[in-house]
Structure 1
Amino acid sequence: MDITEVPVTQKGKGKKKKNKSDKTKTTEQPAKMETDVEVKEEKTEETVSFPPAFSVSDIKNKQRRHLMFLKLKQDKRKQKMELKKKRKRQEKMLGSKAPPKQVPKTIENQRVYDETTVDPEDEEVAFDEATDEFSAYFNGLTNPKVLITTSDRPRGRTVKFCRQLATVIPNAHVYYRRGLALKRIIPQCVARDFTYLIVINEDRKVPNGLVLCHLPEGPTAHFKVSSVRLRKEMKRRGKEPTEHTPEVILNNFTTRLGHSIGRMFAALFPQNPQFVGRQVATFHNQRDFIFFRFHRYIFKNEKKAGIQELGPRFTLKLRSLQKGTFDSKFGEYEWVLKRHEVDACRRKFQL
């Protein structure tokens, strides 16, 4: 039999080459598959178009933008009313087992406790009230008489603000400064039995400061004035206030400093309010900002009462409290606002 020899080396080499080509083919195929998948995904992303995030500010037409804003506002109000009705139904159905009402966290209700917080039943507080500068007023020995003046050369807005403030405070008189220094004005006020001197300062034709000096022994408080709104600038305001003595409401003056500032505001008004006028002057302290409002109330029925703002309105921020009458050079200060202490902790308040 004829035996033919088969070259093994050549076949092995050929097989190896084929294997290499096979490996390259196998390695290339998944790469192609991955690219195909990526292309398909890109195609799907291009084909599927999701609606863009809607924003009212993107609408260029002013009227349409305003209408859409009102519509969104109405929808939010409807949702809020539905949640409120739902809670009332749960309270009726479950009674005492209803879930408690959620109270949002605010800077005001997370306030850091102050050591100088006043306790009305404390004996030291009662002794201080009986011997301080306002004891004569609270004992009924003096009646408030207020002089309101301005800085030199006041503008029209400041003059209007002083006149409207005089209609709020009973027995208040407005006099122009005429270049006189406060050291000369104070003895004249004491001689004419004035119990308070109010000085309205201005900057760029806008009231920006208020000096409140209790006579004849002080103290003197300096406030920053902001957000002044006169009566003509207020919407839905009531008629002009009458000459009746208003009621006075003092809210949230809890510390020793706040207690003295609250007594200082209370001594501006007579102690016996005339309830026939139905007028209320409110000093509301919140985060060391004192908001002043002047309202007239009307009883609608036994449970409800409507209020009507009369104006003016403004906001006060205490800058310093000085012992005695006004003295810029040699005066002794009880308290001065320090900016770095305020910025250290936003939840700590002085009043």
Structure 2
Amino acid sequence: MGGKRKKSDSEGFIGDGEEEDARSGRKEDENKKMQTNGQQLLPSMIKNKEKRSEIHAKLKHQKKLEKRKKVKARDAAEKRALELGEEPPPKPIPRTIENTRELDETVCKPDDEELFAGNDADEFSSILKQDVTPKILITTCRFNSSRGPAFISELLSVIPNAHYYKRGTYDLKKIVEYARNKDFTSIIVVHTNRREPDALLIMGLPDGPTAHFKLSKLVLRKDIKNHGNPTGHKPELVLTNFTTRLGHRVGRLIQSLFPQDPNFRGRRVVTFHNQRDFIFFRHHRYIFESKESKQSSSEGKKDKNAKDEKISQEKVIARLQECGPRFTLKLSSLQHGTFDTKSGEYEWVHKPEMDTSRRRFFL
């Protein structure tokens, strides 16, 4: 029995093999039409809307087929390597903004002796060496809002040994002088705008520095679903991705707000995670739950009256419960000394002309 034969208008009967050749020939002709002068014809080069959408759909279909072929080839290579007992080929690393960031000379290296020598002589060394206990003064701007006190009350539950003082009509320089006399180590000023906290000012005492952060994406504890209530234990502090010299300095400023001897029995964790120069704040507590898992074991199938014995085993499952609040910080400026708008000297100021690329980060 031969294969089915089809009739063509211009030629006689053609077989299955000839039909496949004709199809491949038509595909080659289409590919040649989509190329002009050795260059691929892009949809943006076509003025006709219908033809442009047709070419776009074909290019999209081709990319999809090529991607599918690559995935099949990679899966086949992994399967072949497992059958032969060899190591599978390494998985490709996806390109992200983080791993393709621009090279920065200020990135800290683990063997940087100058950096570690500077840590012993900076403004935060006495606190981080536990020679001095952190004592924080929290206040507001002169025009407070309705959400400001709620945010401050949650900050007081997050930061140990923090005290709130009403701003009133006092000038910030007088507040700094008062805090120095009362042995405070840092000042946090919550700035509000349109009844919403929008900035944080963190000052190290007695000699600075002063960091100004933009505050956004604020979510209070009451607005977090299934939130937990923190205890009075000292929290564990986690800082991630502060890789540059500037980021290292900002990280030490944040670190100086918390005691360096966390009480792990409280199971509290405060996290400052830097990603693309946005510092994400999260406050969690660990929860350990023991669950019973039952396993049935039968001695044999011969005895019909024999019952399965159920063996219960306890498994300890760890999970995180968010306590709140939740917000995001972005560094606007870092100033030498305490806050001074007129004669203050700035270590670093963010300017719009510095954002030349999406892959350029400063922290």
Same fold (TM over 0.5): yes
Q: Judge conservation of contact 1:120–1:126 (CA < 8 Å) in 2.
A: no
Query: How many percent of aligned residue pairs carry the same amino acid?
Result: 52
Bigger strand share:
2
Which residue of structure 1 aligns with residue 321 of structure 2? Answer: 308
- Closer, same or farther: CA 173–96 of 1 in aligned 2, 3 Å: farther
Question: Residue type of the partner of 1:247?
Answer: E
Give the counterpart of 1:184 among 174, 193, 196.
Answer: 174
Give the counterpart of 1:151 among 134, 141, 144.
Answer: 141
- Closer, same or farther: CA 312–93 of 1 in aligned 2, 3 Å: farther
CA distance in 1, matches of 2:197, 2:83: 55
CA distance in 1, matches of 2:172, 2:338: 10
Which residue of structure 2 aligns with residue 346 of structure 1? Answer: 358
The 3-state SS of whatever aligns with 2:211 is strand
Tell me if 1:131 matches 2:143.
no
The 5 Å alignment of 1:313-328 reads: 313-328=326-341
Give the counterpart of 1:230 among 220, 236, 241.
Answer: 220
Q: Judge conservation of contact 2:107–2:244 (CA < 8 Å) in 1.
A: yes
Q: Give the deviation of 1:112 after TM superposition.
A: 1.4
TM-score (norm 2): 0.69
Which residue of structure 1 aligns with residue 150 of structure 2? Answer: 160
Q: Give the deviation of 1:121 after TM superposition.
A: 2.6
Which residue of structure 2 aligns with residue 216 of structure 1? Answer: 206
Q: Give the deviation of 1:96 after TM superposition.
A: 5.0
Q: Give unmatched runs, 5+ long, in structure 1.
A: 1-82
CA distance in 2, matches of 1:155, 1:276: 36
Q: Give the deviation of 1:144 after TM superposition.
A: 0.3
CA distance in 2, matches of 1:274, 1:104: 39
CA distance in 1, matches of 2:166, 2:337: 24
Q: Judge conservation of contact 2:270–2:283 (CA < 8 Å) in 1.
A: yes
Which residue of structure 2 aligns with residue 275 of structure 1? Answer: 264
Q: Judge conservation of contact 1:289–1:317 (CA < 8 Å) in 2.
A: yes
Aligned-residue RMSD, C-alpha = 2.2
The 5 Å alignment of 1:115-130 reads: 115-130=105-120
The 3-state SS of whatever aligns with 2:279 is strand
Question: Residue type of the partner of 2:254?
Answer: F
Which residue of structure 2 aligns with residue 26 of structure 1? Answer: none
Which residue of structure 2 aligns with residue 48 of structure 1? Answer: none
Which residue of structure 1 aligns with residue 349 of structure 2? Answer: 336
Q: Give the deviation of 1:298 after TM superposition.
A: 2.5
Tell me if 1:265 matches 2:257.
no
Bigger helix share:
1
Question: Residue type of the partner of 2:353?
Answer: H
Give the counterpart of 2:237 among 248, 252, 275.
Answer: 248
Post-superposition Cα deviations, 1:175-212, rounded to whole Å, max 9, x if no partner, equal 11102110110000000010010000011111101000
Question: Residue type of the partner of 2:205?
Answer: L
